Amino acid sequence: MAWGLLTLTGLFGGFTLADAPATHIQEVGLERFEPLHANRQLHLTNATAHLREKQVAGWPLTLRLGLVAQHARGEITQLTDTLSEQTLHSPGHGLGISAEARWRVRSGFHLDASAAPMLYDRRFPAGGTHYNGMFQAGPSITWQMGPGRWTLGARWLHISNGRGLGPDNPSTEGRGLVLRYQLPL
């Protein structure tokens, strides 16, 4: 969460990390994640919209702010308080504010990392809480096509409520692909 707060501060505070003014952008995206662990068979789809970005002076770093909506389906298997395994159906829908840092490695190639506090319509994953943090990281390529700009990326994702290990924090991890389109203003 500290990364997300730092990015939000850089975008909207007078924080010296990002002294250029934030600019409006119109970028929409779709993200699809498959589970990494056999006991967390959650399939996630995210719809994203990035609305603001800010270039960090003197660095190849851009801070971005957006919204994310998530649909989850699947099930998890976890230990209960009595140390027996239990399989729980774990669908859910979540909404969050996403703070992303984009490090430009070279023209058209960058590394992205994001954090989003999420609010779910039920305890998610099953047995957890309504509130979670979602973290993503991975490489992306960007190219111009027609009037807009496309981004294709690979991502690792982690969702957790930060309560440590155990039945109160049924975290999940996934790997997936990201496709985004930035409209010209």
For residue 16, CA distances in Å to 23, 54, 67, 162 come to: 16, 12, 24, 29
Any residues with CB less than 8 A from the CB of 127 and at least 6 apart, and which? 76, 78, 88, 167, 168, 170
- Range 108-127 average pLDDT: 94
Q: Quick count: other Cβ atoms within 10 Å of Cβ 176? A: 21
Instruction: Give dist(CA 160, CA 162) in Å, integer.
Output: 5
pLDDT for res 15 = 45
Give burial (CB, 10 Å; 0-12/13-18/19+) of 54.
buried
Residue 16 CB contacts under 8 Å (≥ 6 apart), including other chains: none
The total of structural domains in the chain comes to 1
- The answer, yes or no, to whether residue 24 has pLDDT greater than 70, is yes
Lowest average pLDDT, out of 78-82, 131-135, 144-148, 158-162, goes to 78-82
Place 14 in a pLDDT band, splitting at 50, 70 and 90: very low
Distance CA 128, CA 107 (A): 41
pLDDT score at 177? 98
- The model's pLDDT over 54-102, given as tens digits with 9 standing for 90+, comes to 999 889 999 999 999 999 999 998 877 777 888 989 999 999 999 999 9
d(CA 94, CA 117): 10
pTM of the full structure? 0.85
How confident is the model at residue 52, as a pLDDT? 95
Residue 116: CATH number of its domain: 2.40.160.20
Structural domain harbouring 39: 2-183
- Using pLDDT thresholds of 50, 70 and 90, give the confidence band for residue 142: very high
- Looking at residue 28, its amino acid is V
pLDDT at 182 over 70: yes
